[in-house]
Amino acid sequence: MKILVFAENWDGIFKKSSFEAVSYSRELAEQNNYELITLCFNNVSKEELNKLSKYGSSIVITTNPIHKVDSISMSKMISDITIENDIQLFVFSSTYSSKMFAPRLSAKLNSSIFTNVVQLPSSLNPLKLKKKVFSSKAFEIAKSSSEKNIIMLHPNSYGVKEFSSDLKLSEFTTESNTEIEIINIEKSSGKVNLSEADIVVSAGRGMKGPENWVLIEELANCLNAATACSKPVSDIGWRPHSEHVGQTGKTVAPNLYFAIGISGAIQHLAGVNSSKVMVAINTDPEASFFKAAHYGIVGDAFDVVPKLIEEIKNIKN
């Protein structure tokens, strides 16, 4: 049996989520004696491809460039590779592009598709998987009745595991005549990606105004963390929607989550409660975030955060 894992790259660079998907697939392949094929599209340097071998990729198929927004071409390419290689199981990290092409692929292959998967399968025949539901308020165990299956991993759930192997490259070319015209791309400059960040510094209305986010950004910078915010903060336009964490925003699962001046509404907690360690800083000792947090400081963010920055700089030096 063969597993295909998609190692996504961004402008030729892999991210943690790509290595996580490879690590997961390698473990699955090792446990069950399956063959693992890694798929990588567009132009990636040999040096970057070598990084995949540290996490267990051996056979790597590279393809011609396809734009990620073109889910028709992406799914067709994977489906063509599937026919040539007789693949039964697919592993993708949940990214913006995989969420477009993976459902299409499942319709093409008449397969089952499981999203927000957090663990290796508890059984393979039938395939049984544990996944997050209700915005992380619960888990569901579900089983497949299909021969082909697609697993979409929730980022930061399985983690990366090193497994050294030798790289064997092959190329696959597919037709792509897209009807999509790219008008422009706007990049938010050099920030850490929120969905796969190890540390997230999040703040709420307790910061009193958007001008005070310099403090949050400074803390995030010295931790190499992503910044995030609560729903009210993005609703009033202090921060962009893309930073809104919670039930109607993004769900994150970092190793460390700082909630600064966030009261902790149930919808916010739903989006963050898979974080490994949560620290709450709030002037109100009754704030509901303290019921969810592992560590708490009752105090004014404007006093506590500068001290935090100083102490972190001390240990980093």
Partner 1 sequence: MKIAVCISCVPDTTSKINFTKNNTEFNKEGIQFIINPNDEFGLTKAIFIKEQNQAEVIVVSVGESSIEPVLRKALAIGADSAVRIDNKAKDSICVAKNLSSYLAENKFDLIIMGKESADYNGGVVHGIVAENIGMQFVNACVGLEISDDSYIIEREMEGGTEKVKIKSPVIIAGQKGLVEEKDLKIPNMRGIMQARTKPLNVLESENFDFIQSIEFNKPSENKECVFIDEENVAELVKILNEKEKVL
Binding piece for partner 1, criterion CB under 8 A, among 42-50, 57-65, 84-92, 269-277 = 269-277
Q: Which of residues 193-222 bind partner 1 (CB under 8 A)?
A: 193, 195, 198-199
Would you count residue 6 as binding partner 1 (CB under 8 A)?
no
Helix (H) or strand (E) holding 13: strand 13-14
Would you count residue 274 as binding partner 1 (CB under 8 A)?
yes
> Which of 16, 72, 124, 218 touches partner 1 by CB under 8 A?
72
C-alpha dist (Å) from residue 66 to 17, 81, 150, 261, 275: 20, 15, 21, 43, 34
Measuring CA to CA, which residue among 85, 45, 65 is closest to residue 167? 45
> Which of 30, 141, 168, 169 touches partner 1 by CB under 8 A?
141
Q: Which of residues 145-164 bind partner 1 (CB under 8 A)?
A: 145-146
Q: Which of residues 15-34 bind partner 1 (CB under 8 A)?
A: 15
Count of residues in contact with partner 1, rule CB under 8 A: 95
> What are the residues facing 277 on neighbouring strands?
256
> Which of 24, 101, 213, 238 touches partner 1 by CB under 8 A?
101
Q: Which of residues 243-262 bind partner 1 (CB under 8 A)?
A: 244, 247-249, 251, 255-256
Tell the burial category of 208 from Cβ atoms under 10 Å away from its Cβ (0-12, 13-18, 19+). exposed
Tell the burial category of 214 from Cβ atoms under 10 Å away from its Cβ (0-12, 13-18, 19+). exposed
Q: How far is the CB of 161 from partner 1 (least distance, A)?
A: 17
Sheet containing 112-117: give its strands across: 123-124, 127-133, 112-117, 149-153, 89-93, 2-6, 35-41, 59-63, 168-172
> Which of 33, 170, 184, 317 touches partner 1 by CB under 8 A?
184
Pairing of strands 295-298, 277-282: parallel
Q: Which is nearer to partner 1, 69 or 81 (CB)?
A: 69
Binding piece for partner 1, criterion CB under 8 A, among 80-88, 113-121, 157-165, 203-211 = 113-121
Q: Which of residues 278-307 bind partner 1 (CB under 8 A)?
A: 279-280, 290-300, 303-304, 307
Would you count residue 263 as binding partner 1 (CB under 8 A)?
no
> Which of 31, 45, 50, 96 touches partner 1 by CB under 8 A?
96
Measuring CA to CA, which residue among 116, 181, 185 is closest to residue 154? 116
Q: How far apart are CA 243 and CA 229, in angstroms?
A: 6
